[in-house]
Structure 1
Amino acid sequence: MPTPGTALVTGASRGLGAAIAVRLAADGWAVAVNYRHGRDGALDVVERIRDAGGTAEAFGADVVDEDAVPALLEEVAATLGPVTAVVANATGPHPEIAVEDLTWRDHLDQLEFFVKSPTLLVRAALPGMRAAGGGRVVLIGSDLADRAPAGMSAYVAAKSAQVGLTKTWAKELGPHGITVNLVQPGWIPVERHAGIDTSAYETEVPLGRMGRPEDVAATVAHLVSEAGGFITGQRISVNGGHVL
């Protein structure tokens, strides 16, 4: 597999996705910075990458849309080259909903981001990965799948489903030289958490600090690298030991 090649990072206009995109570009990947609504943010990420000497382009697409995802992969391939690394990071709202108020639509809202979107992305990327002799898939999950807080059953169910996807796809795609792994961050403060008091959470973290987006990005960077080529089917928590 040609590494680095072209990496697609979904939901990369801010937060964890932006940090992952910047790190992969620094490692030599040509990065497709995907966004749905945050075009200005995506362009800012691209500018940061280019200012640092990297290669990146912004691509707007709804990654839960069955027609938009194949078109996205085709556009990325035509602009930067075939995608050989997919980082499925895009997310949406995940409200707290008591079980007595929970609907099937609430479940579907989460499953579309965390099961449907990765499925569409991997399916669309597979021809290019197979042609390249291999590839990398990284799903961005959450350690809430293990912590299972009350009121978050739809979110936890969808994030837990990613564990099954990771294991099954690792077995199925391994013979093609494609690795599949799941990164489960803890609470990593990003832009939307500005002003929130993190002190109570921080006291529960054995390493004694909050995680940073760069911590997640470093883990993803290793998994998509040549050095990470013998790691597959794994879920890796990036949370300072908060869940052990």
Structure 2
Amino acid sequence: MGVALVTGASRGLGAQIARRLAADGWAVAVNYLPDRADAERVVAGIAEAGGRAEAFRADVTDEAAVAALVAQVEGRLGPIGVLVPNATGPQPAKPALEVGWQDHLDQLLFFVKSPTLLMRAVVPGMRRLGGGRIVQIGSEMPERAAPGMSAYAAAKAAQMSLTRTWARELGPLGVTVNLVAPGWIPVERHADVAVEHIEAYRRDVPLGRMGTPAEIADVVAFLASADSRFVTGERITVNGGYTMD
């Protein structure tokens, strides 16, 4: 199949995406920053299932680190055919009247700067391959307009604009660019969220339940596959109809 790079893949959605792509036959570069033990567990699980993966430590918000990461992945696994910029940072809730420019920069760091650095680093290799796939991980938050999340929602909206513009620019190179927008998918970072908050969200989901990381990974896998070869510039929302118009 080729090589897939998944950032922030030591746990949560990233780990599940890495496992699914490996199950589809991709050699997966599991990027992590602080959690080497978690990343190694993901790699070990992929190997036990018959797949191929390696862990790569890098701060994907740093330009030099991204360049080094891509060089290491290409040197150890081969040219990257699929990029999934999944890494994220803290997402604190803050009233609009208290949000400062640094709060916006903190979110843009992960959802605009990091994807841009990664795209620029991997596309030359994709071009040599004759094409590739970039699958961004967005959010339903721009549609929800949830109070307290203005900086996060703005950055996620910007990420979708990047996706569409890149799709037009990179299409002639054979590179498709799409975005998967998950709903609220409880993972490790939500361990301290009160059950009543999760239940309140669930009640407004038309399908009547919370989604799972595997259901996000399934859609990412489709967009990484040859089956999506004529799909680009699209946003696929995976939230059981929560933000359905």
Q: Normalising by the residue count of structure 2, what TM-score does the alignment of the two structures yield?
A: 0.97
- Does 2:42 align with 1:45? yes
Tell me the secondary structure at the aligned position of residue 88 of structure 2: coil
Show the 5 A alignment for 1:149-228: 149-194=146-191, 196-197=194-195, 198-228=198-228
Distance 1:99 1:147 in 2: 15
Deviation of the 1:97 alpha carbon: 1.4
Report percent identity of matched pairs: 63
**Structure 2: 5+ residue stretches without partners:** none
Q: Which residue of 2 aligns with 1:24?
A: 21
Q: Residue 113 of structure 2 aligns to a residue in which SS?
A: helix
Shift of 1:68: 0.3
Alignment coverage as a number of residue pairs:
241
Aligned structure 1 segments of 4 or more residues deviating by more than 4 angstroms: none
One-letter identity of the residue aligned with 1:233? G
RMSD, aligned α-carbons: 0.8
2:60 aligns with 63
Q: SS at 1:220's partner residue? A: helix
Distance 2:153 2:96 in 1: 13
1:12: which partner in 2? 9
Match runs of 1:11-160 below 5 Å: 11-160=8-157
Instruction: Give the secondary structure class of the aligned counterpart of 1:32.
Output: strand
Q: Deviations over 1:150-184 (max 9, x none)?
A: 11111010000011101100000001110000110
Give the TM-score of the pair, scaled to structure 1. 0.97
Give the partner amino acid of 1:34.
Answer: N
Unaligned runs of at least 5 residues, structure 1:
none
Cα distance in 2 for partners of 1:6, 1:145 equals 31
Distance in structure 1 (CA, Å) of the matches to 2:175 and 2:141: 27
Shift of 1:194: 3.0
Residue 238 of structure 2 corresponds to 238
The separation in 2 between residues aligned to 1:96 and 1:103, in whole angstroms, is 12
- Cα shift at 1:192: 2.4
The amino acid of 1:165's aligned partner reads L
Q: CA deviation at 1:193?
A: 2.2
Post-superposition CA distance 1:86-136 (Å, at most 9, x none): 001000001111122111111100001000000000000011000000000
